Chain A
Amino acid sequence: MHKPKEKTVYLAVSITMLTICALAIIIPIMIVFMSSVSDESTVIKYGYTLWPQKFSLEAYDYILTRFDVVGRAYAITIGVTFVGTLVSMLISSCLAYALAQRNLPGRKVFMFFVLFTMLFNGGLIPTYYFYTTVFHIKNTYFAYIVPNLLCSAFNVILLRNYFANSVSPALRESAKIDGCSEFKIFRSIIVPLSTPILATIGLLSAIAYWNDWQNALYYVDNAKYASIQQVLRNMTNNISYLANTSSVPSASRQVPGLTVRMAIAVLSMAPLMIAFPFFERYFVKGITIGAVKE
């Protein structure tokens, strides 16, 4: 019998290939982490390495002295992620719930209105014009929350499908007969019954807000409003960004720029990485639900 042998060969090949890919992903991330806990002078001498030539928390120590900048950026990112995700879920699920009503007059028109945004858009320059000249969101917190991220047609469609297919219309009808208002029905029946999809959409939205840097690039140039991603971006161009922006007087010592960069990178990715095992299930659902046709 050649069968079992064939199976073993395929298993071995699969494990080998996947191991190579997994290492190719993990090693670079490890390098960022290890560089952040390396001694600056050894990094200058030997370059970034997979294992610190000399262990040092100097970079994190330095960040602590510049906490007014980094802490603020962190607070902005957390706040923006929180508010953005919440508002985004509220707007999207309300819109989706209305679109899930099969008999709603004008439903097709509104569906098209939503879907069309997936096919056609005005592009960067007109968008930039409206947000800056007409709505004046430059250098405000709105700049992080509103443009592009608040409500995507894609999320609305996913939510609509869930509301239409997985929540029984009979429930709504009976609540209606009991005299519940539509808003109460939505809040106390539909939302609790839709937690899986809401968790998935909320998660994708939170990751998008946490990692967003383009809104900052286009609409924020005041260091006072810099998010953590914006601090990272500024540090790629300017190694002494932290020292220049901070109101704390600079010590005379050299900025350990090479390791500080990596330390901020670690700080910015750590929350998502640490929480990943807990939300991976929802994340996987989020990426597969949209692409696989029903």
Chain B
Amino acid sequence: MNRSKILAKAKTWFPFYIFMLPGIAYLLINNYLPMLGLYMAFTKVNLVDGIFSGEFLGLQNFKFLTMSSDFPLIIRNTLVYNLIFLILNPIVGIALAFFMNELGSKKILKCFQTSLLLPSLLSIQIITYIVYAFLCIDTGIMNKTILPTLGLDPVKWYTTPEVWPALLIFVHFWMRSGFSSVVYFSSMLSISPEYYEVAELDSASKAKQFWYITLPLLKPTIITLMIISLGAIFKSDFGLFYQVPLGNGALYKTTQTIDTYVFRGLTGSGNLGYSAAAGFLQSVIGFVTVILANWVIRRISPDDAIF
């Protein structure tokens, strides 16, 4: 290519690189620099002087992290909660979407959709207050109204770890089911009504229509959402697990996840080196899981892979 052609090309495209610049610079700072910082997990973490100034420790942080009693706990909690969410999310979402689809009336549908979506507008702080209004030891609705009505003794919710798995799962679905039901509902709407008309002619029952038409056609959406959740299987909703139980140490057994553990390293109530190691594992394993999940899907049904 001669000089003038290159110049012309540069002149055409130059403005677009200027367009890109702020965004690319931001991602570099916000996303790529911290990747470099993953190196910290192999050093004696020093947040004051710099990443590379900490003494190199090799795998020592990992060794101590995996030997600590916290390790099996945070892995178990993170994985088990996520597996439960992973399995129940599509079931709850599709069930609600199915009900919405049965309504027929747009007005009624809108009412339900609005109410189901309300929690998506609430910050985790508000959710924390709502939960607190129910569970507060002396003034909560559970202890003051519901349990006495049922003739049961009050429960010290915020110091009883056993009740939290059920609570957290409930709160998770309280916050998110509206959101996922709307996603499934919109993909149900895109199914051509002709399929159902033909099924009606064959007098297939509703259950059969759902099983043989709706579900298979929702498969791509289900798979996409599942790959996304699989990629996040070592991540947890920090707000749900840290803020909703009020960061309470007495509840660690059932509320401590990798994210809350990493954060506690930062606040000084944990070990920073172990936290960095846990964060490293979370990033790397999360990456591997999503690649693996996508690879498996590509093998089974290539059309459904997301990249």
CB of B263 within 8 Å of the partner chain:
yes
Which residues of B83-132 have CB atoms within 8 Å of chain A's CB atoms?
A: 95-96, 98-100, 102-104, 108, 111-126, 128-130, 132
Interface hub of A126, A130, A283 (most chain B Cβ within 10 A): A126
CB of A213 within 8 Å of the partner chain:
yes
Min C-beta distance of B57 to chain A, whole Å: 15
| Measured CA separation A115–B241 after assembly (Å) | 28
The interface bits of chain A over 271-294 (1 if a CB of B lies within 8 angstroms of the residue's CB, else 0) are 011001100100110011001110
Interface of chain B, helix or strand or loop or mixed?
A: helix
Instruction: From the candidates A3, A262, A276, name the one contacting B121 in the complex (CB within 8 A).
Output: A276
Min C-beta distance of B36 to chain A, whole Å: 7
Check A32 against B129 for contact (C-beta < 8 Å): yes
Check A123 against B280 for contact (C-beta < 8 Å): yes
Check B174 against A125 for contact (C-beta < 8 Å): no
Residues on B with C-beta less than 8 A from A272 are 121
CB of A200 within 8 Å of the partner chain:
no
CB of B275 within 8 Å of the partner chain:
yes
CB of A222 within 8 Å of the partner chain:
no
In the complex formed, the residue of B with least CB distance to A265 is B129
| Measured CA separation A156–B143 after assembly (Å) | 47
| Measured CA separation A44–B96 after assembly (Å) | 38
Q: Decide: A125 near B275, CB < 8 A? Known: A104-B13, A120-B35.
A: yes
CB of A52 within 8 Å of the partner chain:
no
The 8 A-B residue pairs whose C-beta atoms are closest, nearest first, are A126-B37, A122-B34, A47-B144, A95-B23, A211-B123, A123-B279, A182-B15, A14-B99
Which residues in B have some Cβ–Cβ distance to A below 8 Å? 9, 13, 15-17, 19-20, 22-24, 26-27, 29-38, 40, 45, 47-48, 50-51, 95-96, 98-100, 102-104, 108, 111-126, 128-130, 132-134, 136, 138-141, 143-145, 174, 177-179, 182-183, 186-187, 190, 200, 203, 205-206, 220-221, 224-225, 231, 238-239, 243, 246, 259, 262-263, 265-266, 272, 275-276, 279-280, 282-283, 286-287, 290-291, 306-307
Which residues in A have some Cβ–Cβ distance to B below 8 Å? 3, 6-7, 10-11, 13-15, 17-18, 21-22, 24-26, 28-29, 31-32, 35, 43-44, 46-49, 90-92, 94-99, 101, 104-105, 110, 113-115, 117, 119-130, 132-135, 146-148, 150-151, 153, 156, 181-183, 186, 207, 210-214, 218, 229, 232-233, 236-237, 258, 261-262, 265, 268-269, 272-273, 276-277, 280, 283-284, 287-288, 291-293
Known: A48-B140, A95-B22, A269-B122. 15 other contacts (CB 8 A): A3-B200, A22-B115, A47-B143, A48-B134, A95-B19, A125-B45, A133-B47, A133-B48, A151-B27, A183-B15, A265-B125, A276-B117, A280-B114, A292-B183, A293-B306
